Amino acid sequence: MASKTEAVEAKEAYAKLTGRKVLFILVGLGGVVALVLVATSLGSADLGVSSVASAIAARIFPFLDLEVSTKVDVIVWGIRLPRVVLGVVAGAGLAVSGAAMQGIMRNPLVSPFTLGISSAAAFGASIAIVLGMGMVGSEKYLIITNAFVFALLAAFLVYGLARIRGMRPETLILAGIALMYFFSAATSLLQYIATKEELQTVIHWLFGSLTGASWENILIVVIISFSCLPFLIKYSWDVNTMVAGDDVATSLGVNPRRVRTVYMALATLITAGIICFTGIIGFVCLVAPHITRMIIGADHRFLLPSSCIMGGLLLLGADTLGRTAFQPAIIPVGIVISVIGVPFFLFLILRTRKEYFQ
């Protein structure tokens, strides 16, 4: 009977561990809501958290008949909330793409940006800014569509190159890094021939910011991310087998090439859908999955949703800081997240058990 009680104990311990992961997700969601309220209340016109909350509630639950002044409603819904919500959504999307890419490549240093996706998007945007040329769309959307199309193009190139050698992570990463250098060089060339104004626009795009946020952008990002996420989650357990190597995955009945292809396509789509609106916000997709893994471990079934939350918190936190710390100046979030994120990340690395990195 002793072994039986031990088994019960082990089961309980595991259930507890799983419970902790679920709790992390719930607390994280609560944190996101709280941060959204605080972030929306901060800015040049001082609004209290409670008036922000009632302004938001008034539109979501019209039957409550809450009283909100038009001024507050305009500031909250027209100005601040789009930026705040885009921060959360973009952070979540970039983080989950990063977690997905790191998983299928078995490499904690990979992100969609290592695969040349960001530099291709930057090149596409630069073409639109400097040469005024684009694939589709009117002038207003030229930068966005160009960035999106070029990001996908880079992924196709990487995929095509890697396919020849059987979709192995090493080939994918090398092909991606090669493309990254190529597109960076091409972007530099465009910067070299650009006029002063064009150059400024390009550089501002490269910083990455949430300035252009609108409900329209958010809708597109949400549609893309939310249609990709279920498929990422569906294969998340398969990715756990791939982390131990393609041979092991195959021996457990998983087709690693197929999962890798699907994941790459989805992660690229999410990333491209975000950075075409925001510019290059790089660090969050590398670091959010790492921080999440340090807290809840590498089981991708939990890691993917948790990374979303962590990414949303990080990006919104960084943007809020960049927006409020040096008022009236606004620091682009791409800069803030690296400046604040890197020391924080290094601190975490130094604190973590060394086994984590073996």
Is 298 a binding residue for other proteins by CB under 8 A? The answer is: yes
Give the one residue of 82, 91, 103, 208 binding other proteins; rule: CB under 8 A.
103
Rg of the Cα atoms in the chain = 22
Q: Is 185 in the site for other proteins (CB under 8 A)?
A: no
Q: CB atoms < 10 A from the CB of 340, how many?
A: 17
CB burial of 7-32 (b: ≥16 within 10 Å; e: otherwise) equals eeeeeeeeeeeeeebeebeeebeeeb
Smallest gap from residue 355 Cβ to other proteins (A): 5
Q: Give the integer Cα–Cα distance in Å for 240 and 300.
A: 6
Give the Cα separation of 238 and 258 in Å (integer): 10
> Segment contacting other proteins (CB under 8 A): 122-130, 188-196, 243-251, 308-316?
243-251
Q: Are 241 and 248 in contact (CB under 8 A)?
A: yes
Which range of residues in 52-60, 80-88, 255-263, 327-335 is near other proteins by CB under 8 A?
255-263
Which of residues 59 and 234 has its CB atom nearest to other proteins in the complex?
Answer: 234
**x/- track of binding to other proteins for residues 2-21 (CB under 8 A):** -x--xx--xx-xx--x----
User: Is the CB of 47 or the CB of 104 nearer to other proteins?
Assistant: 104
Q: Which of 238, 276, 318, 336 is in the footprint of other proteins by CB under 8 A? A: 238
Judge whether 98 and 289 are in contact, CB under 8 Å: yes
If the CB atoms of residues 80 and 260 are measured against other proteins, the closer one turns out to be: 260
Reading the block at residue 176, the tokens are 């991606």
- The residue from 297, 339, 340, 348 that contacts other proteins (CB under 8 A) is 297
Assess contact for 316 and 45: CB atoms under 8 A.
no
Closer to other proteins at the Cβ: 156 or 237?
A: 237
Considering the complex, what minimum distance in angstroms separates the CB of residue 235 from other proteins?
A: 10
Does 250 bind other proteins (CB under 8 A)? Our answer is yes
**Alpha helical stretches, state H, the chain:** 2-41, 49-60, 70-73, 81-105, 117-126, 139-164, 169-193, 196-207, 215-234, 236-242, 246-251, 256-278, 283-296, 300-324, 333-351
Residues in contact with other proteins by CB under 8 A are 3, 6-7, 10-11, 13-14, 17, 102-103, 106-108, 165-166, 168, 234, 237-238, 240-241, 243-248, 250-258, 293, 297-299, 353, 355-356, 358
